[in-house]
Structure 1
Amino acid sequence: MDQEKLEKLSEQELFDIQNSISDIIKKRNLDNGDIEAITDKSFETGFPKFDGVGLNPWVEGSLIVCPGARIDKTQTKHICKFVVADDEWSWESQHMVSDVIRRDQSSKHFKQHSITLISPFEGLVLQVISQKSQQGKHLVDGIESFIFENGKLSKTMTKTSRSRDH
């Protein structure tokens, strides 16, 4: 469909086309991608040993890989890092293709890692939120924002001092 035809469509018709395109891309990602292999590889590479909370999101084929983690330091303290995709936690996103959680049972403290695969669309905004929790209160250590454009993730901002419940 060319630009001229698109400009003649109503707002609702444009939204319907946009939603259909998103659904088709998500279905293709499910049909074509080896979701299990991508997830396993992402668990191997996505969590560096020095902090264990995970790398920032990256593009793998036609998917965005979103590592997440919660690591307890004591019974009342933990650190965590999770991804927000268009104002929803990645695992709650309508664009989520897969969400796998793995817990480390060998550690004396609770340790959880997750890999969430997102089917991206042009202009998708991601925020990586790093927090620490002390006695139930989450304190934000940092927020990094990214935008998906032309098949790539680009960092747009870094900031601190914001709380968000999860």
Structure 2
Amino acid sequence: MALHAQQFFDDVLELPLYQYAIVGDACYAAPQPNSPLRLRIDFAPTIRHGEYDGLRLRVVHPEQGVLDTAILRFADHGTFARRDTARDLVPGRDGYAVIRDWHAHISQPPWHGADGTGLRTAIEQYTHVWFPPPATSRPAARSVAQPAPTTGASPRTR
């Protein structure tokens, strides 16, 4: 079963990225115009084949390669809290806060019922670190007039 990555990134995460494309199961983005850095987001695999417990974010430079990698776990961001509560899954039980792409008989995407709010917030925070918004130009500060020094007498007289 496919991960339906296009739907996941478009419908669940709804990321406000400048420009992006889904290739296979990964999202490639240019979060900021004119920046050589790119952001790659894909599903973070567990030790089991076809099982994922989060998203892997990578900042990539065209010449220097991967500059940073971060893993955002579904459990840490409440992505499947409702689904797992309905299934009576708790931390430590098989299937908690993971998606699997090896159930071919299921018609729903493996991430059906996901809440992307926590992940979206974390991704936005991550992108602000690596892709800060351009500085807004501020008008030059006016100089403050300094009083002219007086000669001879001290300003404090008795």
Return the TM-score normalized by structure 1.
Answer: 0.30
Higher strand share: 1
Determine which structure has more spread, i.e. the larger CA radius of gyration: 2
Higher helix share: 1
